[in-house]
């Protein structure tokens, strides 16, 4: 009786195994983990379609995770563990994966690139992408943000790292944060024609040069007449000069407080290693 | 009364020699130590404003001086003479710093200095048109000043710390008091009407270690002036000179605060002592392109003051060199880091 039961159970399991496998296989093609339930079924389907098509072209899995709390883990750790636990699912892409994770509770966002995506989606490129999509996330346009992430990630996956050229459609994106964020991007390698630093403008260079030239000649002219070379120490008799009496009485104290500037535009830390030993690039922030 | 120094050996004119610090004979080279020279000036009393005609002891010619000259050379025979009555009584200097640089050394140092100017025209650099070089003892008052300072101020200290999502700025206010005694010794103020105050201020500092008891032979062969302003008249200027020193001392004693606001600042400066001294200055006059340029040299340390002419061509070359170089360097930098050359 017991034996038969076991066999029966085994048969059922064997029967369901291919189904389970096929379900698993499907999630590889459409890796949208909407734990926080931010997307409609329709939107999930659209994103799946978009990502599976692009995944095949670039041999990279584009994974989107929305979480409502991460069990007290840091979002970076959360993503690392996620990658380790789901590593088998990315095997068809040789482990290449670009991950977008958001945590609704902490309002954290983290972008990570693994394997091939680590090479192409560098920390600074991920910063650029994150800055592009953060306004959409802040205003609750999750679908637009996720779709934008996949598009941009694919774009960079096809471009060698010489310059960050935003995809055509993103240039029309009039997000106020784009402009300011570009200036914060310290790496001059990442400058684009659109986001030119003031230092590279010819007129700015001209002004600096003329000002410096004028200052040098001006100093020479002023210095040519001779300088005063006595100081406050020259005639001071230090033996007899002293503070005879003093007091410092505490009177009162005022405290003002100010909210910490939001770290939206700041890249912090970047990549790291998972406990499974996979290195990755990364960019985190708040939305 | 005219003092004229004749060599006891050969009867020639004697004058002060900067190199040896003695009075020496121009023809036989005999040197006499000045510090042992008998001096009768302090006891001799003359009327200050007495109108006098001076006749050279050497040749008998009239000596032409203006009212403030205390030592000069006879314009006829060239002998160095000291007008003793302009250096006695109230007008007797207490101390003197003798010339340390001789006329030749001063000329050489000046020529060298002319070559150094980066904006000086080439023609000026030759230093071949020095019109005159005059050794001048300028009257100074040296003030010993005592300042008593009492300051009441509000000082703040600021501490910032972070707690949670907020940055806290904690400002503590202190009532600070300082009672300071400050002594400034031998603050020099020039007492001659003719000398430009700013020029004289820049000639400082003099090494006071070489201050000597005043003796008239130090003036032989040079021009000396008597003071035009009394110690009382110049005390405000002396106080003004040390004001910035006092302020910097006060703020130094309140250095621990982020900001300091003075509520009450009382500075009481008194003159403890003032000495009338003569300090050595070489005055140089240089003709360049129909203009006379005046330079002054500290006769003790050799420091030179005065504005040399400025060559427009050199100024332009420096300007374009620096500006062009900077522009090119910035272009190169932007090219290297990938910003493109244009």
Q: Is the pTM of this model over 0.95?
A: no
Confidence band (pLDDT; 50, 70, 90) for A12?
A: low
A165 part of a folded domain: yes
Among candidate residues B257, B275, B293, the one where a domain is terminated: B275
Residues B95 and B151 in one domain: no
Tokens 């009768």, residue located: B40
Among candidate residues B275, B307, B331, the one where a domain is terminated: B275
Residue range A243-266, pLDDT digits in tens: 999 999 999 999 998 887 765 444
Q: How far is A256 from chain B (nearest CA, A)?
A: 5
Please answer yes or no on whether B181 and A197 come within 8 Å at the CB atom.
Answer: no
Contacts of B183 in chain A (CB under 8 A): 236-237, 240-241
Which of helix, strand or coil describes residue B49?
A: coil
B108 part of a folded domain: no
> Among B56, B38, B68, B86, which Cα is nearest to B215's?
B38
- Please provide the size of chain B in residues: 342
Q: How far is B204 from chain A (nearest CA, A)?
A: 7
B122 part of a folded domain: no
Total domains in chain A come to 1
Please answer yes or no on whether B178 and A246 come within 8 Å at the CB atom.
Answer: yes
Residues B201 and B62 in one domain: yes
Contacts of A219 in chain B (CB under 8 A): none
Residues B26 and B157 in one domain: no
Bridge-based pairing state of the strands B130-163 and B223-225: parallel
Which of helix, strand or coil describes residue A189?
A: helix
Q: Between A206, A208, A259, which is nearest B165 by CB? A: A259
Please answer yes or no on whether A246 and B177 come within 8 Å at the CB atom.
Answer: yes
B43 has pLDDT over 80: no
Q: What is the mean pLDDT of chain A?
A: 74
Element holding A285 (H helix, E strand): strand A279-286
Q: Which of residues 243-272 of A touch B (CB under 8 A)?
A: 243-260
CA distance B100 to B86: 24
Residues B26 and B39 in one domain: yes
Four-residue CA torsion sign, B15, B16, B22, B28? negative
Which residues is B261 bridged to in the sheet?
B154
The three-point CA angle A4-A7-A8 to 5° equals: 85
Q: Which domain holds residue A128?
A: 31-199+263-286
A190 part of a folded domain: yes
Q: Which domain holds residue B270?
A: 142-186+231-275
pLDDT at residue A179 in the model: 40
Residue B281 burial by Cβ neighbours in a 10 Å radius (0-12, 13-18, 19+) = buried
B19 part of a folded domain: yes
Please answer yes or no on whether A230 and B248 come within 8 Å at the CB atom.
Answer: no
Residues B67 and B213 in one domain: yes
CA distance A218 to A153: 53
Q: How far is B319 from chain A (nearest CA, A)?
A: 5
A90: DSSP letter: G
Residues B56 and B153 in one domain: no
Confidence band (pLDDT; 50, 70, 90) for A103?
A: confident
Please answer yes or no on whether A260 and B162 come within 8 Å at the CB atom.
Answer: yes
In chain B, % of residues over pLDDT 70 = 93
Total domains in chain B come to 2
A71 part of a folded domain: yes
B295 part of a folded domain: no
Residues B43 and B161 in one domain: no
Please answer yes or no on whether B322 and A217 come within 8 Å at the CB atom.
Answer: yes
- Show the beta-strand stretches assigned E in B164-230: 166-190, 212-213, 223-225
Residue range B250-267, pLDDT digits in tens: 999 998 899 999 999 999
Which of helix, strand or coil describes residue A150?
A: helix
Q: Which residues contact A18 (CB under 8 A, 6 or more apart)?
A: none
ipTM of the complex in this document = 0.73
B333 part of a folded domain: no
Contacts of B169 in chain A (CB under 8 A): 255-258
pLDDT at residue A57 in the model: 77
Q: How many CB atoms lie within 10 A of CB A168?
A: 8
pLDDT at residue B262 in the model: 94
A30 has pLDDT over 80: no
Q: Which residues contact B310 (CB under 8 A, 6 or more apart)?
A: A221, A224, B119, B120, B121
Averaged pLDDT, B224-247: 90
Residues B182 and B253 in one domain: yes
Among candidate residues B282, B306, B322, the one where a domain is terminated: B282
B315 part of a folded domain: no
> Among B37, B78, B101, which Cα is nearest to B280's?
B101
């Amino acid at each position: 009786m017991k034996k038969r039961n076991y066999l029966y159970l085994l048969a059922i399991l064997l029967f369901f195994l291919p189904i389970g496998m096929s379900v698993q296989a499907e999630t590889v093609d459409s890796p949208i983990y909407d734990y926080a339930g931010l997307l409609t079924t329709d939107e999930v389907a659209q994103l799946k379609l978009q990502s599976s098509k692009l995944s095949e072209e670039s041999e990279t899995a584009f994974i989107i995770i929305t979480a409502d709390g991460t069990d007290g883990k840091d979002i970076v750790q959360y993503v690392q563990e996620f990658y380790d636990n789901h590593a088998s699912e990315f095997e068809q892409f040789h482990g290449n994966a670009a991950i977008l994770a958001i945590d609704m509770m902490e309002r954290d966002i983290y972008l990570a690139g693994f394997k091939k995506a680590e090479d192409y989606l560098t920390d600074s490129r991920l910063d650029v992408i994150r800055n592009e999509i953060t306004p959409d996330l802040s205003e609750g346009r999750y679908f637009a943000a996720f779709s934008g992430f996949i598009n941009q990630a694919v774009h960079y996956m096809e471009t060698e790292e010489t310059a960050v050229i935003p995809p055509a459609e993103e240039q029309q994106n009039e997000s106020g944060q784009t402009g300011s964020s570009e200036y914060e991007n310290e790496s001059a390698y990442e400058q684009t024609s659109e986001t030119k630093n003031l230092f590279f403008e010819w007129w700015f260079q001209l002004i600096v040069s003329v000002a410096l030239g004028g200052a040098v000649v001006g100093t020479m002219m002023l210095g040519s007449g001779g300088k005063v070379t006595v100081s406050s120490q020259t005639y001071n008799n230090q033996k007899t000069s002293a503070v005879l009496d003093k007091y410092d009485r505490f009177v009162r104290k005022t405290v003002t407080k100010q909210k910490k500037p939001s770290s939206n535009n700041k890249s912090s830390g970047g990549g790291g290693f998972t406990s499974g030993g996979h290195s990755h690039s990364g960019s985190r922030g708040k939305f | 009364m005219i003092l004229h120094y004749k060599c006891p050996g050969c009867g020639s004119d004697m004058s002060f020699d900067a190199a040896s610090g003695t009075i020496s004979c121009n023809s036989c080279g005999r040197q006499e130590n000045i510090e042992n020279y008998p001096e009768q000036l302090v006891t001799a009393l003359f009327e200050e404003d007495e109108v006098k005609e001076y006749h050279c002891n050497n040749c008998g010619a009239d000596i032409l001086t203006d009212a403030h000259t205390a030592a000069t050379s006879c314009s006829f025979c060239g002998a160095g003479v000291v007008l003793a009555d302009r250096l006695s009584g109230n007008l007797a200097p207490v101390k003197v710093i003798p010339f340390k640089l001789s006329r030749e050394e001063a000329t050489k140092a000046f020529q060298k200095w002319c070559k150094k100017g980066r904006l000086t025209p080439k023609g000026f650099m030759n230093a071949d048109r020095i019109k005159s070089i005059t050794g001048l003892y300028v009257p100074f008052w040296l003030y010993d000043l005592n300042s008593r300072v009492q300051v009441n101020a509000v000082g703040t200290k600021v501490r910032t710390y972070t707690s949670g999502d907020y940055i806290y700025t904690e400002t503590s206010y202190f009532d600070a008091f300082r009672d300071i005694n400050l002594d400034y010794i031998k603050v020099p103020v020039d007492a001659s009407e003719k000398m430009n105050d700013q020029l004289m201020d820049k000639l400082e500092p003099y090494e006071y270690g070489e201050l000597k008891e005043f003796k008239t032979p130090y003036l032989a062969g040079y021009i000396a002036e008597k003071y035009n302003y009394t110690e009382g008249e110049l005390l405000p200027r002396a106080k003004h000179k040390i004001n910035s020193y006092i302020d910097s001392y006060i703020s130094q004693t309140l250095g621990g605060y982020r900001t300091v606001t003075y509520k009450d600042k009382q500075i009481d400066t008194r003159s403890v002592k003032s000495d009338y001294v003569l300090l050595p200055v070489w005055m140089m006059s240089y003709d360049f392109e129909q203009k006379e340029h005046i330079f002054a040299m500290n006769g003790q340390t050799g420091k030179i003051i005065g504005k040399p002419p400025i060559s427009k061509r050199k100024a332009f070359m420096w300007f374009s060199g620096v500006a062009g170089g900077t522009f090119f360097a910035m272009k190169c930098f932007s090219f290297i880091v990938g910003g493109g050359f244009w």
